[in-house]
Amino acid sequence: MRWGLAQMGTAKPKLDRVPGLLFHKLLGSGQGKSFSLQPNFGRYGLLCTWDTEAAADAFLEQSELMDAYRQHSDEMWTVKLLPYQSHGQWDAQEPFAPTLTERYNLGPVAVLTRASVNWQRLPAFCRFGLRTSKSLEAAEGLYCSIGLGELPFIRQATFSVWESVEAMKRFAYQNPQHQEVMRRTRAENWYSEELFARFKPIASAGTWNGKDPLAGALQTIS
């Protein structure tokens, strides 16, 4: 746990020097499937965008940093994604542009929502964020989900993987708790910056809670 936490402050200079790495974020996590007031010091995320898949593969397979993560981890899960929809910014950048030009609606879908929360809106964000997180526990068609963050409470993200676009939309547009959060977000100006992106998963390796969340599911992708 201590080693993983230390990487949040020490791994960035190493990542800054990786060839072909365009954008990266080291992310802590919370308990449960989305936003949480309780940190999880045993699980961390690394988000990267690349100029080529070959550059990504070289980093994953040959870098000293990834070797160190493997040595200090009980399990790791890596998923390769192609962005097909992205709106908003992250640190004044659009990390997932350009997106795919083709339509994608067959097979699993990954979703990333990320926001910088206005200090004045933090109490409301925490209150309603916890309700949405709890509702994810019973969401149909959800393969996996996790709350991530650069800073506790203020710079938050949720990454989730669903069996289909339809399953994701059912939760996003029919779940009462999620609908209330979306309404209040717009009406009360919760965020100073936000980003929403959807991805087509193309490869998956390793385990999350003892299994590959996408094992067998990628065969449906055309």
Per DSSP, 121 falls in state: G
Looking at this protein, which amino acid is placed at residue 22? Answer: L
Share of the chain above pLDDT 70, in %: 81
- By CB atoms closer than 10 A (0-12, 13-18, 19+), residue 13 is exposed
Res. 198: pLDDT tops 90 = yes
Distances (CA, A) of 16 to 4, 10, 25, 53, 144: 18, 11, 11, 18, 29
Q: What is the pLDDT of residues 16-33, one digit of tens each?
A: 999 999 999 999 998 777
Domains of the chain: 30-41+77-220 (3.30.70.100)
Residues linked to residue 112 through DSSP beta bridges, in sequence order: 159, 197
- Which H or E run contains 82? strand 77-88
How far apart, in whole angstroms, are the C-alpha atoms of residue 155 and residue 127? 16
Dihedral angle sign, alpha carbons of residues 216, 63, 113, 100: negative
Give the pLDDT confidence of 133-182 residue by residue, as tens digits: 666 777 889 999 998 988 776 778 889 999 999 998 888 777 666 666 66
Q: Mind listing the pLDDT tens digit for each residue in 86-107?
A: 999 999 999 999 999 888 878 9
Tokens standing for 103?
Answer: 């339509």
